[in-house]
Structure 1
Amino acid sequence: MQRRSLLRYLSLTMFPIISLEARAQGNPPTLALHTTAKQGDVAAVRKLLAEGAGLEARDNTGATALLVATHANQIEAAKALIDAGANVNAKDQISDSPYLYAGARGHLEILKMTLAHGADLKSTNRYGGTALIPAAERGHVETVRTLIEAGVNVDHVNSLGWTALLEAIILSDGGERHQQIVRLLVNAGANVNLPDGAGVTPLQHVRERGISYQAIEAILTAAHAR
């Protein structure tokens, strides 16, 4: 009886591992699709798809070929995959999708393609943030502009209790790119008085950071921040 229970336990606990390995090993065309997508070999991508490579097959990180192409910012390979119907919202094991990753990394051309092919603006990453929040943090001005124009919620609060505006302040150096991003967010109607989880407002964060944030302070005060 104990042996039978042990075997049953092992079969249940090993199933996810076996399934993951099976997905990673796949068939040769499917494995090659991830490799050629990463390399940006568009002709090979199209040939493999025609031969039956799995468009939504996952590697051992849970990434699809489109996400692999997005990681490498391989624009034409990403286009070929999206044109073939690849899911721009398919997430890997750490909740990255082509849409979210392109936004976070400022891969603007791929981001625009995902937006044109059904990107879920409410989709969130492993920190509970939309694509806008890491884009604002990392100073990707045109990415922020594009996401705002697409209609993303500028006041979304992530798991840390931060909005895009707060991250553009807290995790920046107050420089020109982040000044532009703060201005874009304010002009888009971001709530300049929405505090973090500890009750500290954007303006209070700015004033804690001194002279290098004076330009951002001016933008916020002009928008009636407190």
Structure 2
Amino acid sequence: MGRIFAILLMALTTTAHAQTAPSASDIAGYDGLHRAAYEGDIKTVRRLAADGVDLNIRDDSGRTAAHIAAFGSNDEVLRVLAEAGADLNALENRAYDVLTIAAVADDPDLVALAITLGNRPDLVTSVYDGTALIAAAHLGHHEVVRRLIAGGAPLDHVNNLGWTALMEAVVLGDGGPDHIATVRALVEAGADISIPDRDGVTPLQHARMRGYGTIADIISQVSSN
């Protein structure tokens, strides 16, 4: 269990800092497309796109205007950028795309929009080589999880911690209603409940060890069928 604890501690202590929205100093330095994306200025975004500005120009943290729009939940700006040819699958310096930013923000509508606009739900993102689905499952963002599943997100991707979305929902979850709903969504969609962590412990075993009775019951119903 020592290795599991070390991995768990690393995940919990770094996740909060893994995604970084533009700081006040970043914003103060924005002009042009980044400024328009931040302010939700659709008219200026359209004008700059028509003028041939580089839609994928990056700030010092590797954020494109699409990333800025995602951090600000500026759906229509994102739509205009994508329709003009912006790359929604671009990764900023911390390896996040628009979709994972929206997933972490618990923004189901932006998640669905990003997928519709061409953001790939199977994209490997973050320093953990995960996916938007894993990020959402970790946080118990169950409606986002359902939107990602509907959009074709891979259910059983294993990140560099050795965890799937289902595993993260159990190991990093609190066993409460949001994570229960997340586990239910993943299991009902057909997530593989047998994939263990690097120590051979399955999601069901983790749920039982943590006293997450409802989650254990959801997983057990599949294993007994």
Which TM-score bucket, shorter chain as reference?
0.7 to 0.9
- Alignment RMSD: 1.8
Instruction: State the distance in 1 between where 2:108 and 2:85 align.
Output: 20
Matched AA of 1:218: D
CA displacement, residues 118-158 of structure 1 (integer Å, 9 cap, x when unaligned) = 22232111211111001111111111111111222111100
Could you say which residue in structure 1 is the equivalent of 2:24? none
Could you say which residue in structure 1 is the equivalent of 2:221? 222
**111-120 or 127-136, larger mean C-alpha shift:** 111-120
Could you say which residue in structure 1 is the equivalent of 2:81? 81
- Deviation of the 1:34 alpha carbon: 0.5
Matched AA of 1:178: H
Matched AA of 1:40: G
What count of residue pairs does the alignment treat as equivalent?
195
Aligned 1:15-164 pairs, distance under 5 A: 31-125=31-125, 126-164=127-165
Instruction: State the distance in 2 between where 1:198 and 1:104 align.
Output: 27
- Deviation of the 1:217 alpha carbon: 1.2
Instruction: State the distance in 2 between where 1:104 and 1:192 align.
Output: 23
Secondary structure at the aligned position of 2:192 is classed as coil
Q: What TM-score comes out, normalization by structure 1 length?
A: 0.80
Q: Retained in 2: the 8 A contact 1:140–1:177? A: yes
Could you say which residue in structure 2 is the equivalent of 1:194? 195
Matched AA of 1:129: G
- Deviation of the 1:103 alpha carbon: 2.6
Could you say which residue in structure 1 is the equivalent of 2:205? 204
**170-179 or 113-122, larger mean C-alpha shift:** 113-122
Q: Retained in 2: the 8 A contact 1:78–1:110? A: no
Matched AA of 2:218: I
Q: Retained in 1: the 8 A contact 2:100–2:135? A: no
Secondary structure at the aligned position of 1:66 is classed as helix
Secondary structure at the aligned position of 1:90 is classed as coil
Q: Retained in 1: the 8 A contact 2:130–2:160? A: yes
Secondary structure at the aligned position of 1:223 is classed as helix
Instruction: State the distance in 1 between where 2:124 and 2:102 align.
Output: 13
The structure whose RCO (Cα within 8 Å, separation 6+) is larger is: 2
- Select the structure of larger CA radius of gyration: 1
Instruction: State the distance in 1 between where 2:129 and 2:172 align.
Output: 17
Q: Retained in 2: the 8 A contact 1:106–1:135? A: yes
CA displacement, residues 4-26 of structure 1 (integer Å, 9 cap, x when unaligned) = xxxxxxxxxxxxxxxxxxxxxxx
